[in-house]
Each structure stands twice: as structure tokens, then as C-alpha cells.
Amino acid sequence: MNADTRLYTDRTASTVTTRDGVQLYYKDWGPKDGPVVTFSHGWPLNSDSWEAQMLFLAGQGFRVVAHDRRGHGRSSQPWDGNDMDHYADDLAAVIEALDLRDATLVGFSTGGGEVARYIGRHGTARVKKAVLVSAVPPLMLRTDDNPGGLPLEVFDGLRKGSIDNRSQLYLDIASGPFFGYNRPGATANAGLIQSFWVQGIQGGHKNTFDSIAAFSATDFREDLAKFDVPTLVVHGDDDQIVPIDLAGKASAALVSGAELIVYAGGPHGITDTHKDRLNQDLLAFLRK
């Protein structure tokens, strides 16, 4: 079998190489015989953004796996393939290379789109449950058949910010709407702001730029219709990045039998601001 058509994993370096030659860095924590939970991160972050949930669940006996999306973190920075189909196929590459089965797929923000597209493209043969946290599905962009979406100008603004000074863009997002630090009375946490900035700036410029279209303009409605496993949707009702009515509530309505948990006052970055509650909600869902 030719090297460009096979999937393989280098456990010494904790990488999986995809069929198109992209190296994906991954973490594999907890007991190897524990129930499997995978984590797909948001834009422009990497798998470090899941550390609170991974450390907690690994301590509860779960095998937790998370990779850095192509072009992000410690993974390769390919010029092409920075789109949701490739993201989903990369998740499949990790799952297949590690031979993960009966996995619960957890996706945050853009990672929620990755999970949805994975199920849409690869089915649920290896999937036991799914969790969407502050996730972008069904469709963020305003279109003729999605009139409640956000206008194109919002995402063009992100693209302009990326070109003008993406370092400042990431700092502004983290210092303001991502964690809700722009709300009256909010106390900003410098550590979380710096962590967001560091993760973002580690990503490739072209990759994170292209990803804006991937998370904003990809239509996941057909993918959500293919969900046939228990699904949990968690969303803050003060999410200024991915509004709950456009995303969390709409996804829960499209997935048959989905459970929706709303965090009152929760911002977009609830994996950090509400990590203790989220950890407990994930544990309860996993144990059902």
C-alpha cells in the first residue's frame, strides 16, 4: 500500500498521518480499556482547550482522545483542505488509526460542526453518543432559506481582522465576547485570555483564515438529520459568538430525541467559564 493512501499512527510522536499526508497531533489520556470519548475543538484553538474536561473524565475512568485540527496547534499546516469535509475525514482518520469504538463524540463550536459532518459522512458505526457544546450547526450564515442566520458582514469582519492583525483579533475576541468579559460587571481572567491567544497564534494563518468559511457557511442540516444516537446539546443563552437560537436550540430541534441543556448567562466559552458544571453534565450523560 502506498504511503499516500494509508492511515498510520506514530505512537511515539502521538501523530496520525492522513491519506493526504497531513500529520495530526493527538492526546490519548486515561485507561486504554475505558469507555471512549473524543473531543473536537473550536476555532482558532487546539486540543489544549479541552484539558479541563479531559483531565476530569480520564480521572473517572474514561479514555479521552483529542486531536489538533489540521492547520491548528501542533498539526501540519496544509495549504489546502481547510474545510469541513476534510475536518470530518481527519476525525475519522484518528478514530480509525486508534481503532476507537463505541465512542462518544464531543464537539465545541467549530468542533461541533466537525462532529456533525463526521456523522453525515461516516455514519455512527463507531459512535455511541454525540455532544454538541456551543456548536455552530445547523448553519450560521444568513441565506434565503436560513433568514435567522448572521449576515455575511460578520464573517467578512473576522476575515478582515485576520488579515489586518490576527494577533490583535484573537486578543480582542478572548478579552471580550468569547468569555463574556465585555458584559457589565464581568471580571476578565488574564490566564484564559492568554491561553486563547497562544492557541490561536499557533495555528497557521491560511488555515485559520479558511476555517472562518468552514464554520460559518457550511450547512449541517442534512448531517443532523442522520444522527441516530443519543445526543446532548449544551449552550449558553448569552453566547455572543454562536447565538443559542440560531445554533443550540435549532440543532436540538433537528436531532430526534436530543436533550438540550441551557446555561443561564453562559457565554460561548463555557468549557472554561462553566467547566465544573459542564464536566458533571458530560459525566451524567456518559453514564446514562
- Work out whether strand 103-108 and strand 63-67 pair parallel, antiparallel, or are unpaired: unpaired
- The set of cell numbers assigned to 110 is 467549530
The predicted-structure confidence for 121-158, as pLDDT tens digits, reads as follows: 999 999 999 999 999 999 999 999 999 999 999 999 99
The C-alpha torsion from 268 through 273 and 278 to 279, rounded to 10°, is 140
pLDDT at 4 over 50: no
pLDDT at 3 over 80: no
- Helix or strand (DSSP H, E) at 253: helix 248-254
pLDDT value of position 7: 59
The predicted-structure confidence for 181-230, as pLDDT tens digits, reads as follows: 999 999 999 999 999 999 999 999 999 999 999 999 999 999 999 999 99
Section 231-257 average pLDDT? 98
- Work out whether strand 8-10 and strand 15-17 pair parallel, antiparallel, or are unpaired: antiparallel
81, 132, 95, 108: which is closest to 196 by C-alpha? 108
pLDDT value of position 13: 65
Residue 248's domain spans which residues?
A: 3-287
pLDDT at 6 over 60: no
Band (pLDDT 50/70/90 cuts) for residue 253 is very high
Active site residues: 109, 239, 268
The C-alpha torsion from 171 through 177 and 183 to 188, rounded to 10°, is -40
Yes or no: say if 66 and 54 are a contact pair by the CB < 8 Å rule: yes
The span from the CA of 134 to the CA of 247, in Å, is 8
pLDDT at 93 over 60: yes
pLDDT value of position 8: 54
The predicted-structure confidence for 8-66, as pLDDT tens digits, reads as follows: 566 556 999 999 999 999 999 999 999 999 999 999 999 999 999 999 999 999 999 99
Query: Total structural domains in the chain?
Result: 1
The pTM score is 0.95
Other Cβ atoms within 10 Å of 179 Cβ, number: 24
CATH of the domain at 61: 3.40.50.1820
